[in-house]
Amino acid sequence: MEFVTKELRIIPLSVEQFRLMLERFDKMEDAFKLKHSKQKLDDETKAAMQELYDKAVQHEDEYVWYTNWQIILKEENVSIGSACFKGEPDENGVVEIGYGLDEKYRGKGYMTAALKIMLRWAKAMPHVKKVIALTSKDNAASQKVLENCGMKFEREEGDLQYWSI
């Protein structure tokens, strides 16, 4: 499965591609014949991704809800960021989405374009009733992305804002 816009390719990694990404980011890039981005996962992100990967392996039929969706800038043939669902929809049909973009590609609408595609895909699934996203109350850029994707602010708890569509 792959989604394509004028500027981007959005690819949910297979379990094997996800394993390569965790092993060494450039191995995943080589699998897609991408230019090396020199991206490295920080310890916190790597731990979160490892947890998702372990669940993707356990739920291989539904791995798409646990895998990393790579965002590739077609013009440069380089990975510029990623997004992921944080598991299958719960018993109420709610699924959470998270995302991140390489700093030098921010502010150009790429994340908004990628998230719109992912949200449209998720909302088309019969068991999805609602997609939520959490962001820091100090992260105006992330809030703008969510707003541009049609998500609505729900509430604030501590340092976090809850958004949904």
Confidence bin at 40 (pLDDT 50/70/90): confident
CA proximity to 85, closest of 40, 132, 28, 18: 132
For residues 117-137, average pLDDT = 97
Q: What is the pLDDT of residues 3-30, one digit of tens each?
A: 999 999 999 999 999 999 999 999 999 9
Question: Using CA of residue 140, residue 143, residue 148, residue 154, what is the dihedral sign?
Answer: negative
CATH number, span 3-164: 3.40.630.30
42-56 per-position pLDDT tens digit: 888 889 999 999 999
**Mapped to the 3 state alphabet, what secondary structure does the chain carry?**
CCEECCCEEEEECCHHHHHHHHHCHHHHHHHCCCECCCCCCCHHHHHHHHHHHHHHHHCHHHHHHCCEEEEEECCCCEEEEEEEECCCCCCCCEEEEEEEECHHHCCCCHHHHHHHHHHHHHHHCCCCCEEEEEEECCCHHHHHHHHHCCCEEEEEECCEEEEEC
Strand partners, 162: 134, 155
pTM: 0.93
| pLDDT (0 to 100) of residue 146 | 98
- 95 and 85 in contact (C-beta within 8 Å)? yes
